[in-house]
Amino acid sequence: MLMLLPMVFALATDPGPAASSAPRPTPLTEIGRVRALPACVPIVAHANGAITQALDNDRTLAIISNNAHNTDFDRLNDLQRRNAIEAMMKQAEVIRAASSSGDVEIKKLREYAAAATDPERKAELKAFADALGGALYRQKKAAVEFMRDVTIVQGREDAAEGKQIIANDSPVPPARPGTMLVTTSSIVPPPPQSYNKVFKLIGDDIDADVHGVQTDEGFAADHSIAATSGC
């Protein structure tokens, strides 16, 4: 019996691109207790709310990328393949929703930055919020683009199935001399010959987006303490 690759498999390694000589971004982590006046407590709460969403999205993007690269879609039957793809689509929708929730926290942080009276902390808090907001935006963009690409693939597959049903039920009569026969095959792109190749390319696009996410998260991490302390 053909075994599906587990669709909830978290990578133990970093989902980013291959190692290079450039320094790695600072890892983003939740902000612990900061020695500051209580006025910073709500800022820390909103910051951690956005950070949690971003870190959850990181893990889910890693799962989607792993399954896009390593699932043998070509060996699955139609039902198994659709189930595997649908599982990834649901994960992408979770990212899209979480990014929107995180954006609510970012808006609150920007309000705090606008109201801050200390120029240095105002700048730090704005830099932190903008960078973390950028990471959440990139995550949402990656999820939406994944869903769009998969929808295109599924649409072509459905169109090909429909065309085959029509062809079986209503055979096309031979064209009369001097006329050009127009069929659905000339206007509807066929489904991919190899789903593995298509999903590997989609997974590569996710990994490229993740690189930008990590850069933004690293910048946010560099400003996180200064942005949430010294009230």
Amino acid identity for residue 78 in this structure: D
Per-residue tokens: 224: 């996180």
pLDDT surpasses 80 at 230: no
Domain for residue 134, yes or no?
Answer: yes
What is residue 13's DSSP assignment? S
pLDDT of residue 154: 84
pLDDT of residue 169: 53
**Mean pLDDT on 14-21:** 45
**Mean pLDDT on 150-171:** 62
pLDDT surpasses 50 at 13: no
Greatest Cα-to-Cα distance within the chain, rounded to the nearest angstrom: 88
Domain for residue 34, yes or no?
Answer: no
Domain for residue 18, yes or no?
Answer: no
Q: 62 φ, ψ to 5°?
A: -65, -40
Domain tally, the chain: 1
Domain for residue 15, yes or no?
Answer: no
Q: How far apart are CA 212 and CA 63, in angstroms?
A: 17
Domain for residue 183, yes or no?
Answer: yes
pLDDT surpasses 80 at 167: no
Q: What is the pLDDT of residues 65-77, one digit of tens each?
A: 999 999 999 999 9
Domain for residue 20, yes or no?
Answer: no
pLDDT of residue 97: 95
User: 154 near 202, Cβ under 8 Å?
Assistant: no
Q: 51 φ, ψ to 5°?
A: -65, -40
User: 175 near 181, Cβ under 8 Å?
Assistant: yes
| 2 vs 163, residue with greater confidence | 163
Domain for residue 56, yes or no?
Answer: yes
**Mean pLDDT on 16-32:** 71
Domain of 145 in residue numbering reads as 39-228
Helix ranges (H only) for the chain are 41-70, 78-115, 119-169, 195-228
pLDDT of residue 11: 36
Q: Give me the chain's average pLDDT, please.
A: 81
Helix (H, G, I), strand (E, B) or coil at 151: helix
Domain for residue 80, yes or no?
Answer: yes
Q: 161 φ, ψ to 5°?
A: -65, -40
